């Protein structure tokens, strides 16, 4: 799925990951046998490893913002979750903008968008503050070549997650796919290592847009 935290030499977005932030290792994953079906878990799991509705297992990665080089094409799973859940600006990490028409988001057409787009669009890109919505449109190369809409969203509903899907085999958990997008409540969430929180944009008002150039 296309995603693109903005890039600017003088400012690294809050949600961008850094090369010094090392992800967890696959051998930490274990099979948990609880009340229901087996589910994906960590060997030494703690409560912070699960998030969202349904206690989805979240991908582990170090929190070391500013260490190494910024990776503009890759969002940090932990900071993406915080920004999207708590409605913080994806660029500065401060409060996202909200007015009488709702929260400030950018959106562009993606393959899975419904015919009602931008209404009911699903997005993993957290909202923005007033200052950084302009900066994003000016400086993100992806946004500069795409038709981008500036939106006010009254009901950005928590929808689901994406991540790496695992299947339980005789040899333990195995994965063959890169990414899977699942709504909260989906039984396959028990085998997902999540890395993105998604909201569905409802009650959308288009307040600007077009090609940024």
Residues near Zn ion (CB under 5 A):
89, 91-92, 129, 132
Which two structure tokens, joined as six digits, stand for 78?
């932990």
Lookup result for tokens 């913002």: 65
Cβ within 8 Å of residue 8, ≥6 positions away: 135, 139
CB nearer to Zn ion: give 4 or 129: 129
CB nearer to Zn ion: give 129 or 204: 129
Rounded Cα–Cα distance for residues 126 and 106 (Å) = 9
CB of 207 to Zn ion, least distance (A): 17
Residue 58 CA, chain-centre distance (Å), reads 11
CB of 7 to Zn ion, least distance (A): 15
Lookup result for tokens 């795409």: 146
Q: Which residue is nearest to Zn ion (CB)?
A: 89
CB of 82 to Zn ion, least distance (A): 14
CB of 184 to Zn ion, least distance (A): 27
- In this structure, the number of other CB atoms found within 10 A of the CB of residue 211 comes to 11
CB nearer to Zn ion: give 58 or 103: 103
CB of 18 to Zn ion, least distance (A): 18
CB nearer to Zn ion: give 37 or 130: 130
- In this structure, the number of other CB atoms found within 10 A of the CB of residue 1 comes to 14
CB nearer to Zn ion: give 83 or 194: 83
Lookup result for tokens 């409060």: 95
């Amino acid at each position: 799925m296309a995603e693109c935290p903005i890039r600017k030499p003088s400012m690294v977005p809050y949600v961008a990951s850094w090369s010094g932030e090392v992800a967890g290792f696959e051998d930490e994953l274990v099979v948990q046998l609880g009340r229901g079906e087996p589910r994906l878990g960590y060997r030494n799991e703690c409560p912070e490893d699960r998030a969202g509705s349904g206690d989805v297992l979240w991908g582990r990665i170090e929190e070391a913002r500013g260490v190494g080089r910024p990776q503009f094409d890759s969002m940090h799973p932990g900071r993406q979750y915080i920004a999207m859940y708590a409605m913080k600006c994806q660029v500065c990490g401060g409060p996202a903008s909200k007015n009488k028409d709702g929260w400030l988001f950018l959106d562009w057409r993606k393959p899975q968008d419904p015919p009602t787009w931008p209404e009911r669009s699903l997005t993993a890109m957290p909202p923005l503050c007033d200052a950084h919505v302009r900066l994003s449109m000016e400086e993100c190369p992806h946004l500069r070549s795409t038709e981008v809409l500036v939106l006010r969203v009254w009901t950005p509903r928590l929808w689901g997650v994406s991540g790496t899907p695992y299947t339980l085999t005789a040899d333990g958990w195995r994965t063959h796919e890169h990414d899977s997008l699942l709504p909260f409540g989906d039984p396959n969430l028990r085998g997902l290592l999540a890395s993105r929180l998604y909201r569905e944009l409802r009650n959308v008002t288009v307040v600007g847009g077009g090609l940024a150039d």
